[in-house]
Amino acid sequence: MMRSEFKHYLWLLVVAVLVAAIPLATSNDFYLRIVFLIGVNYIAASGLNVLVNYTGQKSLGHAGLFAVGAYAVALLTARWGWNPWAAFAAAGVLAGLFGVVIALPALRVKGPALAMVTIGFGIVVEKIVSEWQDVFAGQQGIYGVVPLQIGGQMFSTKHWVWFVLGLCVLLHVMFRHLLSGRFGRAFLAVNTAEVAAESVGVSVYKFKVLAFVISAFTCGIAGALIAQQNQYINSDFITFNLSIFFLLIVLFGGNSVYGPLLGAVVLTLLDSLLSRWPDVQHFTYGALLLFALYAMPNGLAGFVRSFARRFTPGLVPKEQLPTGLPAWQLKPSAGAASAGVLLHGEGLYKAYGGVVPTNNVDIQIRPGHVHSLIGPNGAGKTTLLNILSGIVTPERGTIQFAGHGIVGVSPNRIARMGLGRTFQNLRLFSDMTVLDNVKVGLHSHIKAGFFASLVGVGKARRAELAARDEALQILDRLHLRDKALHIAGSLPYGLQRRLELARALATHPQLLLLDEPAAGLNPQETQELVQVIARIRDLGITVLLIEHHMDLVMAVSDHVIVLDYGQKIAEGTPAEVQSNPRVIAAYLGSDEEEDGNDATGGPHV
């Protein structure tokens, strides 16, 4: 166990012991009830934190999922005679299933529309429990909910505090493992840049659904706790204000595994203090929500983290990275090139209204070569790359990659098949470290499942350490190791370009698509890029390059393809293309337009 982990668990033990001592120090039910509510609110917010802060999905309907858990445990125990422990577990599972039900239609929309869908779900649930009297009893409610018990003895208030404390500690440890590993990085990648996440093998849809399920499960557990502790539930518990309260805890707490705890402590205490004045209470919620969104976007956790780094840096030690690692090597590819062709596109066509950026283009990429795709601005080069990588689906045409048809296949699956890429406009995960950016590239090569990642030991731990070491090897290949713990967005532009290339290499591509990698680089950085591309080819990776810098194209290319107005007008060796009259005309205009211009050196941009 590393020193930082030991310190974390030591502090966790100290806090847990102090909280566990509260029921021994006082028998005041009001105080114990507040401690219990802090724990319940933390449980609900801990999962919602994954959805909102990590995955970037705003939900205003989680009171409905709270209701699913509460009414599930009420009906199962009071009406159908279930064991209270079995009902408690079933309530969380049922809420998780409802999370899938919400996620599948909700994720077809984004932003405010997504929030409206979740609001709709919450309102529907509120209406059902209010109006369906025969089942849910409306405001009258369901009495006789069987509480948790041990040895036939029902939990007292102090037992509830200890039980919720145990659940909170367990959830905190599991979420800390989950969010510091493969799954946490994938959630953040989806939040930051969905297209880039797909390009390295992360399924955006899968991780959004998973985040909804996690948040639904914890909200369902929170609802079950309230119903069983009160031994009663009615429709007054299920209001839109409850959804707002949960969201406020998450936003006010901040983007951290500790955020929900900080938010739950502060806002539960504030809620109890202002409970006598509902109007002031609601005004305070609104004011705090605005404050959290605009004045303190990183929340309490971000403020505490910044304060600690500035005044007590020893409390936030930097990760110790291993040295002396061997040189990185590409993994052997599972796919095979067919008849010496790695990728074969035929008759590719894509139109946007009257604009046709890809017009019946045929393309063949042979393994082991550097191919360049050139042409004037607007020739359709990036559209063709987007088609090859699955971001854009052609209206007609076929693509065979490593023996498999990939038209209509999702970009994340294409990436896992061995096709990596960079982007014309940088798409880094800018708030993550350099090291974590490369680890995201390794996502599909880290063999640790969801439940193993929750536990965080054994196979998952070994896989995470192996991913760290491999990411460092890749960074070393591109001379970025000394920047490993820097925030990606803080790097100079040229190093950010190189980092995006390192992330693409981490996918272990057979074919690497580079979309204007020299854009924005100075002459020295451009010359260094020539050497980098040569080293990539030497690793056994085939490259397809879009570039306007003709010196770079001529220096690294084995084969050049020229597009103009969406059509392929020439291809061949750099020398053949450079002297092709149609290429010269495409860059410099017709003979009449060339008067007074020297075209003897071929096309220049």
Which long-range contacts does 180-183 make (Cβ < 8 Å, 24+ apart)?
180/257, 180/456, 181/448, 181/453, 181/456, 181/460, 181/464, 182/439, 182/443, 182/446, 182/448, 182/453, 182/463, 182/464, 182/467, 183/207, 183/210, 183/450, 183/453
Predicted local distance difference test score (pLDDT) of residue 600: 38
| Confidence band, pLDDT 50/70/90 cuts, at residue 313 | low
Predicted local distance difference test score (pLDDT) of residue 213: 95
Predicted local distance difference test score (pLDDT) of residue 284: 79
The CATH number of 337-418+509-605 is 3.40.50.300
Q: Which residues contact 520 (CB under 8 A, 6 or more apart)?
A: 493, 494, 497
Q: Is the pLDDT of residue 247 over 50?
A: yes
Q: Is the pLDDT of residue 68 over 90?
A: yes
Percent of the chain's residues with pLDDT above 70? 94
| Confidence band, pLDDT 50/70/90 cuts, at residue 337 | low
Predicted local distance difference test score (pLDDT) of residue 239: 87
Q: Is the pLDDT of residue 503 over 60?
A: yes
| Confidence band, pLDDT 50/70/90 cuts, at residue 605 | very low
Question: Is residue 201 within 8 Å of 36, Cβ to Cβ?
Answer: no
Predicted local distance difference test score (pLDDT) of residue 278: 74
- CA distances to 50, 377, 446, 567, 571 from 389, rounded to whole Å, are 29, 20, 22, 19, 21
Predicted local distance difference test score (pLDDT) of residue 598: 43
Predicted local distance difference test score (pLDDT) of residue 596: 41
Q: Is the pLDDT of residue 339 over 80?
A: no
Neighbours of 82 (CB within 10 A): 17
SS3 assignment, position 316: coil
- CA distances to 256, 296, 305, 307, 566 from 263, rounded to whole Å, are 11, 13, 14, 17, 54
Stretch 52-80: mean pLDDT, rounded?
Answer: 92
Q: 186 phi and psi, to 5 degrees?
A: -65, -40
Q: What is the pLDDT of residues 440-457, one digit of tens each?
A: 999 999 988 999 999 988
SS3 assignment, position 109: coil
| Confidence band, pLDDT 50/70/90 cuts, at residue 316 | low
| Confidence band, pLDDT 50/70/90 cuts, at residue 586 | confident
| Confidence band, pLDDT 50/70/90 cuts, at residue 592 | very low
Predicted local distance difference test score (pLDDT) of residue 138: 83
| Confidence band, pLDDT 50/70/90 cuts, at residue 1 | low
Question: Is residue 164 within 8 Å of 43, Cβ to Cβ?
Answer: yes
Q: Is the pLDDT of residue 371 over 80?
A: yes
Q: Is the pLDDT of residue 602 over 90?
A: no
Measured over all CA atoms, what is the biggest interatomic distance in the chain, rounded to whole angstroms?
99
Which of residues 333 and 155 earns the better pLDDT score?
A: 155
Which residues on neighbouring strands pair with residue 364, listed in sequence order? 344
Q: What is the pLDDT of residues 170-188, one digit of tens each?
A: 999 999 999 999 999 999 9
| Confidence band, pLDDT 50/70/90 cuts, at residue 589 | low
Q: What is the pLDDT of residues 346-355, one digit of tens each?
A: 999 999 988 9
Q: What is the pLDDT of residues 205-228, one digit of tens each?
A: 999 999 999 999 999 999 999 999
Q: Is the pLDDT of residue 409 over 90?
A: yes
Predicted local distance difference test score (pLDDT) of residue 3: 67
The token duo for 584 is 């010269």
Task: Give CA–CA dist 580/560, Å, rounded.
Answer: 12
Listed by start position, the domains of the chain span: 28-239, 337-418+509-605, 430-496
Q: Cα dihedral sign for 43, 47, 48, 49?
A: positive
The mean of the pLDDT values for the chain is 89
Q: What is the pLDDT of residues 393-402, one digit of tens each?
A: 999 999 999 9
Stretch 108-134: mean pLDDT, rounded?
Answer: 84
Least confident of 25-29, 376-380, 401-405: 376-380
Predicted local distance difference test score (pLDDT) of residue 593: 41
Stretch 227-250: mean pLDDT, rounded?
Answer: 91
Q: Is the pLDDT of residue 158 over 80?
A: yes
Predicted local distance difference test score (pLDDT) of residue 588: 63
Which of residues 305 and 552 earns the better pLDDT score?
A: 552
Nearest to 281 by CA among 292, 291, 294, 267: 267
SS3 assignment, position 502: helix
Predicted local distance difference test score (pLDDT) of residue 332: 80
